[in-house]
């Protein structure tokens, strides 16, 4: 018997500990969970906020290569689960035949899908702060509340910020089309036409202000001609924090059920 590996990939402005509930739940269901984090990422969000320096030059190409190396290290292709920018990376790796299946939760889109859909970009409304680190863009507490934790109460939003929020490298934000001047995401290649890839589940929160539900639906349409399993799940009354706020269990359990329905068991018999 061999456990199925699961790699959890977090997004910009969040620490890898945002997956702590998922790691425990998937482990309890028998999966071999890996939460590697970003290269140079400190063990806690507080440490990253205090000294984000090791992440200063991190761009999308380097971050993707980091996860590709990790994924290739497994004897068997893992299940890839990514949130936000991590959802984009998970799709890229799946399209490159480096994962058994992928789940992209509120994923940032690749080039070709506009992120704003005509709305003002939430991060573009943040005032310039001359005191901020020249290589990083913080997501201030008030903006975190507005664009990430808008579907939960004030007290919970404050706790989520303290536990998981970190500044993001400007280089990465520029690559993702999330800095103040970028017109759109970098030319991130996601092979939506790969008919040999594993199944893909896209998940959105219908109250998400960072990656609106309409954006995830547009990403889903990119796979419209695919003959491979591609599913979309929309959660009502959920925001961008759907993977780590108090409602995360319903999302994680839907993913577990979806994996089982697609024949991806936690432990596979060898024979």
Closest by Cα among 236, 211, 216, 209 to 150: 209
Domain limits of the chain? 5-115+135-262
The predicted-structure confidence for 35-55, as pLDDT tens digits, reads as follows 999 999 999 999 999 999 899
Cβ–Cβ under 8 Å, residues 238 and 206:
yes
Beta strands per DSSP E along 11-124: 32-34, 79-83, 101-105
* DSSP state, residue 127: P
Beta strands per DSSP E along 85-158: 101-105, 136-137
What percent of the chain has pLDDT above 70?
87
The pLDDT score that the predictor gives to residue 104 is: 98
Closest by Cα among 187, 181, 60 to 123: 181
The pLDDT score that the predictor gives to residue 120 is: 45
The predicted-structure confidence for 78-94, as pLDDT tens digits, reads as follows 999 999 999 999 999 99
pLDDT at 192 over 70: yes
Phi, psi of 80 (to 5 degrees): -105, 120
Q: At what angle do helices 248-261 and 20-28 cross, to 10 degrees?
A: 40
Tokens found for residue 242: 């759907």
CB atoms within 10 A of CB 90: 30
pLDDT at 99 over 80: yes
**CATH no. for 5-115+135-262:** 3.40.50.1820
* Residues pairing with 201 in the sheet: 103, 231
* DSSP state, residue 109: P
Q: How confident is the model at residue 207 (pLDDT cuts 50, 70, 90)?
A: very high
Closest by Cα among 218, 269, 212 to 238: 212
* Residues pairing with 80 in the sheet: 7, 102
Mean pLDDT of the chain: 89
């Amino acid at each position: 018997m061999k456990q199925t590996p699961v790699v959890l990939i977090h997004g910009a402005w969040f620490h890898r500990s945002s997956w702590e509930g998922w790691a425990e739940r998937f482990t309890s269901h028998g999966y071999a969970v890996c939460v590697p984090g970003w290269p140079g990422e400190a063990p806690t969000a507080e440490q990253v906020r205090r000294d984000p320096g090791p992440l200063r030059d991190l761009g999308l190409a380097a971050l993707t290569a980091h996860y590709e190396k990790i994924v290739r290290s497994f004897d068997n292709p893992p299940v890839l689960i990514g949130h936000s920018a991590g959802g984009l990376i998970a799709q890229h790796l799946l399209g490159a035949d480096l994962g058994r299946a992928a789940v992209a939760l509120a994923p940032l889109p690749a080039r070709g899908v506009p992120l704003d859909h005509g709305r003002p970009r939430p991060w573009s409304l943040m005032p310039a702060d001359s005191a901020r680190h020249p290589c990083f863009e913080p997501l201030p507490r008030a903006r975190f509340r507005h664009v990430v934790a808008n579907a939960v109460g004030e007290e919970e939003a404050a706790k989520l910020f303290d536990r998981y929020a970190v500044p993001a490298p400007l280089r990465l934000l520029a690559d993702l089309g999330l800095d103040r001047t970028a017109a759109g995401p970098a030319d991130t290649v996601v092979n939506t036409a790969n008919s040999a890839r594993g199944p893909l589940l896209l998940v959105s929160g219908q109250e998400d202000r960072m990656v609106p539900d309409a954006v995830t639906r547009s990403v889903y349409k990119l796979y419209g001609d695919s003959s491979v399993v591609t599913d979309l799940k929309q959660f009502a009354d959920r925001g961008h924090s759907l993977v780590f706020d108090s409602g995360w269990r319903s999302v994680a359990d839907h993913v577990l059920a979806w994996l089982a329905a697609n024949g991806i068991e936690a432990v596979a018999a060898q024979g």
